[in-house]
C-alpha cells in the first residue's frame, strides 16, 4: 500500500479486487455502454452485487465514453456504485481526455452525493486496451487536479488487480510524492 495526502484527502494505491472493498462508500465500475455485466471489473461487480444491479442500471443506459452514473450497491458491501464508461483505446478519441473525464466525473458525482470514500479500478486498461503507464499518469494527475473541488471526499483508493500494475502506478505516484 502506498499513500499520499493532499488537500486533506488520502490517495491510496492497493492491490486487490474492486468488488471486495468493505468500508468504502462507492466503488467505481469500468462499465460498458449498456451498463450490463461483462468481463473484468464489470463482471466481478455485477456478480457480487446480484441481478438487481443490472435491473437498476437499465433505465440509465446507454452512457457515453467519459460519462459517470450512480446506482446503489445492491448486495455489495458498498452503498453506491459509480459506473464509468472508459474510452476504447485508439477508437474513442481523444482517449486521454475521455479517460480523464471518467475520473473527474466520478469524483464530482460522488462528492455531490456527500460520499466520503471511493475506490477506482484502472479504467480502460483491460479489455479496452489502454496502455498502463499512460493510464496511470492520466488517473493520478486527474485525481490530483480535481481535489480542490471536492468538499466531502476524504479517501480515494485505487485498486489494482496485479503486482505489475501496482508497480506502474507506484512509479507514477512516486513522481507526485516528490512535488
Ligand atoms: N478488481 C480490480 N481490478 C480488476 C478486476 C477486479 N475484480 N478485474 C479486472 N481488473 P476491464 P476496461 C483490472 O477489462 O478495460 C468489461 O467487460 C484489469 O486487469 O474490467 O475499462 C465491460 O463490460 C484491468 O487492468 O475494464 C466493458 O465492456 C482493469 O481492471 C469492458 O470490459 C480494467 O479492466 C471495459 O473494459
The ipTM, to two decimals, is 0.99
In a structure prediction context, what are the per-residue pLDDT tens digits for the chain, which is 179 residues long?
Answer: 899 999 999 999 999 999 999 999 999 999 999 999 999 999 999 999 999 999 999 999 999 999 999 999 999 999 999 999 999 999 999 999 999 999 999 999 999 999 999 999 999 999 999 999 999 999 999 999 999 999 999 999 999 999 999 999 999 998 876 66
Domains and CATH numbers, the chain: 2-177 (3.40.220.10)
For residue 18, the CA-to-ligand 1 centroid distance in Å is 10
Contact indicator for 83, 35 with CB cutoff of 8 Å:
yes
Within its chain, how far is the Cα of 150 from the centroid?
Answer: 16
- pTM value > 0.90: yes
Ligand 1 binding pocket mutation candidate from 13, 27, 35, 40 (most atoms within 8 A of CB):
40
Helix axes 163-177, 132-146, angle to 10 degrees: 40
Extract the C-alpha cell encoding 119. 475506490
What is the C-alpha to C-alpha distance for residues 5 and 173, in angstroms, rounded to an integer? 11
* CA angle at 14 for the pair 12 and 19, rounded to the nearest 5°: 110
Report residue 93 as a C-alpha cell. Answer: 478519441
Ligand 1 pocket, CB under 6 A: 17-19, 30, 32, 38-42, 44, 86, 121-128, 159, 161, 165
**In which element (H, E) is residue 166 found?**
helix 163-177
Using the atom order of ligand 1, give the atom closest to the CA of residue 159.
2
Amino acid at each position: 500500500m502506498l499513500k499520499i495526502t493532499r488537500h486533506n484527502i488520502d490517495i491510496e494505491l492497493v492491490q486487490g479486487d474492486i468488488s471486495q472493498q468493505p468500508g468504502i462508500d462507492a466503488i467505481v465500475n469500468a462499465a460498458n455502454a449498456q451498463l450490463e455485466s461483462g468481463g473484468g471489473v464489470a463482471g466481478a461487480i455485477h456478480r457480487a452485487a446480484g441481478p438487481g444491479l443490472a435491473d437498476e442500471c437499465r433505465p440509465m443506459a446507454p452512457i457515453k465514453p467519459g460519462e459517470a452514473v450512480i446506482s446503489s450497491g445492491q448486495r455489495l458491501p458498498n452503498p453506491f456504485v459509480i459506473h464509468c464508461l472508459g474510452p476504447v483505446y485508439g477508437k474513442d478519441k481523444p482517449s486521454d481526455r475521455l479517460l480523464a473525464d471518467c475520473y473527474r466525473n466520478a469524483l464530482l458525482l460522488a462528492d455531490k452525493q456527500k460520499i466520503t470514500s471511493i475506490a477506482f479500478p484502472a479504467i480502460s486498461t483491460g479489455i479496452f486496451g489502454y496502455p498502463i503507464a499512460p493510464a496511470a499518469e492520466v488517473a493520478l494527475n486527474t485525481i490530483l487536479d480535481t481535489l480542490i473541488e471536492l468538499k466531502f471526499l476524504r479517501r480515494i483508493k485505487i485498486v489494482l488487480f496485479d503486482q505489475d500494475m501496482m508497480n506502474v502506478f507506484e512509479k507514477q505516484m512516486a513522481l507526485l510524492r516528490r512535488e
